[in-house]
Amino acid sequence: MFRHIAALIFIFGCTSIAWIILGATVMQRTHSSDDQLKGHVASTWGTPQEQAPPSANVVWKETVAVTTRENGNIIVRNEQVERTTVLPLDSTRLAVNLKLDHRQKGLLWYSTYVVDFAGDYDFRNTAAVPGTLDLRLPFPAQKALYDGLTMTFNGQPAVISTDESGALARLPFNPGQTAVLHVAYRSQGLDRWRYKLADGVAQVHNFSLAMRTNFSDIDFADDTLSPTDKKPTGDGWELTWHYSDLVSGFQIGMEMPEKLQPGPLAGQVSFFAPVSLFFFFFLMFIITTMRGINLHPMNYFFLAAAFFAFHLLLAYLVDHISIHAAMAISSIVSIALVVSYLRLVAGIRFAALEAGSAQLIYLVVFSYAFFWKGFTGLAITIISVITLFVVMQATGRIQWADKFASLPAFPRV
């Protein structure tokens, strides 16, 4: 019996090492490809976006007397110099619509999104003389596209010129004139969207931002303001930030929810596989000892290989099909290997009922527990405690010394 148990421990140890190698391989494939693939996603879709408020500068020319001394004589000349005044922002009304659209590259899903941005900005007119108004809207990201970009001033469309940093509209401006700027565009981004109130600590007046999402798993990053009001919708949230007079160094932002990552999940399941095999071997050993079924260590070796086939197949299927389909196919293949093999060794009843059920619980259910974010450890713990309880109740009256004494050192296959 000692040699029998030692052989099982050896098989378990070798299989565990194989799982560690497989898990490390999957993780290495995932992280090495992430650096390259994320760049491809950013170049074709967009990068994280951070929108800043526009600026309004009034530029005019003013004639000033300039005094100079030439050859001992004082000469006064009239010269024109350019003056600039910055119009302060009086109120901000923004509408942001975020539509999450995950995209898969290799073993990873990336949180890409489409953003519809519209804003109305009221500037306080402090200009004393007529001049030229420069309205500049900074782009939230350089690597992005901007569809339907419009800028209107006091309800009239403005001619826009663009450069790497943003869009510029230049038009005549008079004292006492209202200054209401409307901007709108559609763009695409990755991972997060933010609105930057200002550099450093900002003071904003009459600020409101209404955000609508098509996802319910909302998350606000560090150093961002929580909404003052939120309301669930059919597929997401309506969020509102409203401040009459705010002084803050924080921004407003939304982190895009991540989809279940097939690569890291396959790696985690592989690293956890020895726990599944331990419970399966433990249960098989208890059942066969109680019922007098002789399983040779070679039988356990093939059972371990069937378990390993599940994770090996899963690791290379997730590249090509959804993680759920890959889990289903891998489960069916592994269970079919175990049941079809054990029916030849110990009969169809033991193979399908005891072994098949145990594999379904300790391989398939344990693996699916990684889909239950935040409850994986609890689910596995509950199943483990229930298993311990059932085994203890079923074997409480067994005389193990007699059972072990009656078993041959190495049963025949």
Interval 240-290: pLDDT, tens: 999 988 888 889 999 998 877 777 888 888 888 898 899 898 888 888 887
Greatest CA separation for the chain: 127
Cα–Cα nearest to 253, from 215, 283, 211, 282: 211
Considering the domain 48-255 in this protein, what is its CATH number? 2.60.40
Query: Which own/partner contact pairs does 376-384 have at CB distance under 8 Å and 24+ positions apart?
Result: 380/275, 384/279
Structure token pair of residue 200: 């450093």
Structure token pair of residue 379: 């689910």
Tell me, what's the pLDDT at 408?
A: 53
Question: What sections of 149-294 are H helices per DSSP?
Answer: 262-291
Beta-ladder partners of 368: none
Cα–Cα nearest to 318, from 361, 262, 368: 262
What span, in angstroms and rounded, lies between the C-alpha atoms of 192 and 256?
5
Tell me, what's the pLDDT at 258?
A: 83
Structure letter (DSSP) for residue 224: B
**Crossing angle, helix 262-291 and helix 323-346, to 10 degrees?**
20
User: Which of helix, strand or coil describes residue 187?
Assistant: strand
Q: How far is CA 296 from CA 3, 291, 303, 334, in A?
A: 11, 15, 11, 20
Per-residue pLDDT tens over the stretch 92-149: 999 999 999 888 776 678 889 999 999 999 998 888 888 889 999 999 988 788 999 9
What are the residue boundaries of the structural domains of the chain, listed by start? 2-37+260-406, 48-255
Confidence label for 306 from pLDDT (cuts 50, 70 and 90): very high
Contact in structure between 176 and 125 (CB atoms under 8 Å):
yes
Tell me, what's the pLDDT at 346?
A: 86
Per-residue pLDDT tens over the stretch 371-408: 887 788 888 889 889 988 888 888 887 777 766 665 55
Q: How far is CA 71 from the centre of its chain?
A: 74
**Backbone torsions φ then ψ of 258, nearest 5 degrees:** -90, 145
| E strand residue ranges, 6-111 | 49-51, 55-70, 73-86, 89-100, 103-105, 108-110
Q: How far is CA 324 from the centre of its chain?
A: 18
Confidence label for 181 from pLDDT (cuts 50, 70 and 90): very high
Per-residue pLDDT for 173 more than 80?
Answer: yes
Q: Give the number of other CB atoms < 10 A from CB of residue 72.
A: 5
